[in-house]
């Protein structure tokens, strides 16, 4: 019997082009139409794994983890100095869904530094902020502002420990005046002490104590007065 040969099926050429264009695994530098470039790992045509992205418009560099096309995991973000052109690290830490998320350290252009937790690109959770004037805040944050419980230490030695809301002292707290050697325990509202008890606290070693010590508090139960004030504060904010 004669042998009948079936014609070999040849896929259209664009199938081969498409197969070669699919990015998966480790690839050399890929350039986008706008000039951005990426070197690293891919999965199903998306940046996935370890990789480095350079944005042409700003010169910014991100090097770290990617997940389905977005920065996700641990990585560092740097930008070039406009004068020296040397790269300065802006953020190093964890990312979630292309934004700062988790624990990380952010270096501000004015020299300030935040080391703590992030959520949706904002300071949220526990963190420590070093301000350019020498002040240090350490405590809870929410949507980029001190919120909850925290301690603020000022360059002159004063310190406040207590409640915060929207970046201001708010609620029960204690403020220590280092120059006078006095302690104010009371209730704050939007950075203003509304009521409290002022007592000498290390007055003998203070650099500029008042001429006379504070008189004894003429209250049978000063702690009870503060507790009552706290209760009134809580009721007014519920």
pLDDT tens track, the chain, 238 positions: 455 555 555 555 434 444 455 566 666 789 889 999 999 999 988 999 999 999 999 999 999 999 999 999 999 999 999 889 899 999 999 999 999 999 999 999 999 999 999 999 999 999 999 999 999 999 999 999 999 999 999 999 999 999 999 999 999 999 999 888 899 999 999 999 999 998 877 766 666 666 556 566 554 455 555 565 556 556 555 5
**CB 71 within 8 Å of CB 95:** yes
Query: Taking Cα atoms as reference points, which of 74, 78, 94 lies closest to residue 86?
Result: 78
Q: Tell me the whole-structure pTM to 2 decimals.
A: 0.79
Cα-to-chain-centroid distance, residue 139: 12
Between CA 100 and CA 93 the distance in angstroms is: 8
> For residue 226, what are the contacts with CB-CB under 8 A and spacing of at least 6?
172, 185, 186, 187, 196, 197
Residue with tokens 């199903």: 44
């Amino acid at each position: 019997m004669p042998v009948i040969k079936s014609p070999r099926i040849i896929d259209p050429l664009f199938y081969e082009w498409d197969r070669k264009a699919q990015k998966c695994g480790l690839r050399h530098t890929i350039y986008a139409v706008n000039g951005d470039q990426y070197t690293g790992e891919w999965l199903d045509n998306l940046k996935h794994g370890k990789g480095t992205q350079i944005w042409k418009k700003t010169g910014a560099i991100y090097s770290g983890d990617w997940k389905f096309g977005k920065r996700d995991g641990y990585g560092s973000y740097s930008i070039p100095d406009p004068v020296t052109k040397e790269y300065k690290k802006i953020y190093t830490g964890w990312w979630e869904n292309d934004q700062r998320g988790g624990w990380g350290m952010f270096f501000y252009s004015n020299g300030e530094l935040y080391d703590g937790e992030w959520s949706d690109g904002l300071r949220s959770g526990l963190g420590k902020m070093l301000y350019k004037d020498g002040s240090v805040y350490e405590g809870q944050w929410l949507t980029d502002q001190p919120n909850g419980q925290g301690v603020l230490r000022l360059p002159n030695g004063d310190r406040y420990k207590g409640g915060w809301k929207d970046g201001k002292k708010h609620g029960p707290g204690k403020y220590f005046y280092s120059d006078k050697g006095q302690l104010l325990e009371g209730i704050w509202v939007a950075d203003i002490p509304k009521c409290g008890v002022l007592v000498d606290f290390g007055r003998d070693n203070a650099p500029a104590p008042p001429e006379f010590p504070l008189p004894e508090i003429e209250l049978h139960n000063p702690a009870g007065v503060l507790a009552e004030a706290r209760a009134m504060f809580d009721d007014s904010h519920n």
